[in-house]
Amino acid sequence: MAQLLHQLATGLSAGSIYASVALALVMIYRSTGHMNFAQGEMATLSTFIAITLLDRGVPYWATFLITVSVAFAGGALVERILIRPLADAPERLMVTVFLGLFMICNSLGGWLWSYETRAFPSPFDGLRFLDNAYETPHDLGAMAVIVLLMAAIFVFFQYTSTGLAMRGATENPMSSRLVGVAVGRMSALGWGLAAAVGAVAGMMVAPTVFLEPNMMATILVYGFAGALLGGIDNPWGAVAGGFIVGILENILGVYVIGTEMRMSVALVLIVGTLVVRPDGLFGRHKVVRV
Amino acid sequence: MARRIGFTVLLALALIAPFVVSGYRTFELTTIIVDAIALLGLNILMGYNGQISIGHSAFYAIGAYTVAIMTVRFGLPYWIAVPSAGAVCFAAGILFGLPALRLGGSHLALATFALAVAMPQLLKYKLIDPWTGGTLGMSLKKPDVPWDLPLNRDQFLYFICLAVALVMFAVGRNLVGGRIGRAMVAVRDQPIAAAAMGVDTAMVKTKTFGVSALYTGVAGALGAIVAQYVAPDSFTFLLSITFVVGIVIGGAGTISGAIYGAIFIGLVPDFASKISKAAPWALYGACLIVCVYLMPTGIHGVIRLVRAKFMPTTSR
């Protein structure tokens, strides 16, 4: 029983990371209609920026803020420079661009920093009062940060006029433009936010998995599995999906298939969702007019 | 006419090359030929049929492991093992394609992405260790030279790969040039119109996926023999990206694009890796993006443009 609880706790903290990646993926899917295969590598690059700042002696939370802002600007720039000119291009060209972005971010990380695995500090490690039987202080703290982040995003989308404009722009770009919403700026904003969320996920996961250029590769697959399971067009579904994937992966990994086969959980979940319920658990069915 | 001369010259060069260059160069050329087969497979799928696969490393791996298991564990000869690898991959492609193809575009890309990332782990699975050799993989022997041919093993393997490639390119050319090829292109460009014209779009997509996996599987089988070694970590997601780079640079939706692409991915990383370990991959990434914006038809398109400009009469 204790072991099961322990696995559940591990699953939850892994799930919070997957949920944040899934949320970032959904934000990009909703703002530009693409699956961003470079999401994980963009997050890794942000984490590299963070470690450079930390190495220079910048305090942790200042680093955190700077990194998130830089990631936000970078994401918006990528949208403006690479994605928007291809708005009407076929999907295969978009995937090609994402793969290109994936490779560039990945190799920049290796080139400018290094391919060697290195430790990344956690701001929660010294906190005695977080000690408990099931979770490390870092996992608890990271989960808290991510939950706070999600709450902030929820408030932003639900209660601010910019959030409303963003929702409108994804729902019906034409009508939004007619009522004066800058639709292009909204999708840049969506990309920026997604990159910022990714940066937070990167900094929160790096103390656990250690920092190296391919750090986010498997996490991205789990994030995709979560997003798809919850519904790729539904942010809250994707968050729920991320947590479900985290728990499933840990429970199944320990009790059923063995830890070295964990990756196949993601594969089965992705293919299974696509076959059985392509819109995900909480997604909406898309009807296309011919 | 110009095209036929070009092809004859290329073939003649390919036939004398292994007698002129060193053993290592012969090995490199063999790898390029094998890659060309894999790229042709992916190009039939992505270029002609417009379906996205970033998981072809998985089919390459299945082909490689089929040949390794059949020859090493069961002692079967290569001339049985390589076609079997193609058949196994065709079946795998159809099986994976059946569910995945109901979804278009990026959803399929996502499913193949997950397949590519999961493949190395699946190959390391403990229960199949006795066949696959687990993390360590397996060593293969190069085929012996039969009938006292005046060739060494490398040269013999080179000619075998060249012969297989010629057959597969001829078949591929006829496939995309005929009725089926037109159906593929129609499904890519106007799926609804194609369906209205009586094209069974789901069937075309599924079979194209199977054929594409077959080509890549045969390439994987030959690749395993050329490298004399298979191991799970040779078949990562990066291999899939390499294939995509090859067809995008060579020219998507063209037969010769597969050859140009294979030459590119065969030679360029060697030069680039002299700069730094990351340089080939950075270059790949840059090439992908530059190609989409500046030369969407790849090297094939550039060559055709140049030819149309300087040799207007022979351009067609």
Query: In which band, very low, low, confident or very high, does the pLDDT at B47 lie, cut at 50, 70 and 90?
Result: confident
Across A234-250, average pLDDT: 87
Least confident of B48-62, B98-112, B230-244: B98-112
Neighbours of B154 (CB within 10 A): 19
The pLDDT assigned to A290 comes to 58
Dihedral angle computed from the Cα positions of residues B92, B203, B236 and B22, in that order, rounded to the nearest 10 degrees: 90
- Token pair listed for A170: 């994804």
Rg (CA), chain A: 19
Residues in chain B with CB shorter than 8 Å from the CB of A241 are none
Alpha-carbon span B304 to B287, nearest angstrom:
19
The pLDDT assigned to B270 comes to 76
- Encode pLDDT of B187-200 as tens digits: 787 877 777 787 77
Sign of torsion over alpha carbons B162, B164, B169, B170: positive
SS3 B71: helix
Angle, helix B279-294 to helix A91-108, in steps of 10 degrees: 150
pLDDT exceeding 70 applies to what percent of chain B? Answer: 96
Q: Determine whether the interchain pair B241/A34 forms a contact, defined as Cβ–Cβ distance below 8 Å.
A: no
Bridge partners (DSSP) listed for residue B229? B139
Give this complex's ipTM: 0.82
Q: Determine whether the interchain pair B237/A225 forms a contact, defined as Cβ–Cβ distance below 8 Å.
A: no
SS3 B229: strand
Q: What is the mean pLDDT of chain A?
A: 84
Nearest to A274 among B50, B51, B103 (CB): B103
Q: What is the mean pLDDT of chain B?
A: 82
The pLDDT assigned to B149 comes to 72
C-beta of residue B124 within 8 angstroms of C-beta of residue B137: no
* Distance of residue A122 Cα from the nearest chain B Cα, in angstroms: 28
Across A223-238, average pLDDT: 85
Least confident of A48-62, A195-209, B140-154: B140-154
SS3 B150: coil
- Encode pLDDT of A22-62 as tens digits: 988 888 887 777 888 888 899 999 999 998 888 888 888 88
SS3 B230: strand
Q: How many residues does chain B have?
A: 316
pLDDT at B315 over 50: no
If you measure CA to CA, which chain A residue comes closest to B45?
Answer: A92
Query: In which band, very low, low, confident or very high, does the pLDDT at B313 lie, cut at 50, 70 and 90?
Result: low
* Distance of residue A158 Cα from the nearest chain B Cα, in angstroms: 28
Give the amino acid at A195: A
Concatenating the DSSP letter of every residue in B82-140 gives: HHHHHHHHHHHHHHHHHHHTTS-HHHHHHHHHHHHHHHHHHHT-GGGHHHH-GGG-EE-
Across A93-108, average pLDDT: 88
Bridge partners (DSSP) listed for residue B230? B138
What residue spans of B178-278 are helical by DSSP H?
179-189, 191-196, 201-227, 237-250, 255-272
3-state secondary structure chain A: CHHHHHHHHHHHHHHHHHHHHHHHHHHHHHHHCCCCCCHHHHHHHHHHHHHHHHHCCCCHHHHHHHHHHHHHHHHHHHHHHHHHHHCCCCHHHHHHHHHHHHHHHHHHHHHHHCCCCECCCCCCCCCHHHCCCCCCHHHHHHHHHHHHHHHHHHHHHHHCHHHHHHHHHHHCHHHHHHCCCCHHHHHHHHHHHHHHHHHHHHHHHHHHHCECCCCCHHHHHHHHHHHHHHCCCCHHHHHHHHHHHHHHHHHHHHHHHCHHHHHHHHHHHHHHHHHHCCCCCCCCCCCCCC
Q: How many CA atoms lie within 13 A of A16 on its CB side?
A: 25
The pLDDT assigned to B316 comes to 44
Give the amino acid at B260: Y
Residues in chain A with CB shorter than 8 Å from the CB of B117 are 217-218, 221, 263, 266-267
What lies within 8 Å, CB to CB, of B197 at 6+ separation is: B186
Query: In which band, very low, low, confident or very high, does the pLDDT at A286 lie, cut at 50, 70 and 90?
Result: low
C-beta of residue B223 within 8 angstroms of C-beta of residue B60: yes
pLDDT at B284 over 50: yes
How far is C-alpha B16 from the geometric centre of its chain's CA atoms? 24
- Encode pLDDT of A127-185 as tens digits: 666 666 667 788 888 888 888 888 888 888 888 888 888 888 877 888 888 888 888 88
pLDDT at A69 over 90: yes
Alpha-carbon span B166 to B8, nearest angstrom:
12
The continuous run of DSSP H or E covering B171 comes out as helix B153-177
Nearest to A270 among B102, B110, B293 (CB): B110
Query: In which band, very low, low, confident or very high, does the pLDDT at B214 lie, cut at 50, 70 and 90?
Result: very high
All structural domains of chain B? 2-314 (1.10.3470)
pLDDT at B216 over 90: yes
If you measure CA to CA, which chain A residue comes closest to B121?
Answer: A261
Q: Determine whether the interchain pair B288/A99 forms a contact, defined as Cβ–Cβ distance below 8 Å.
A: yes
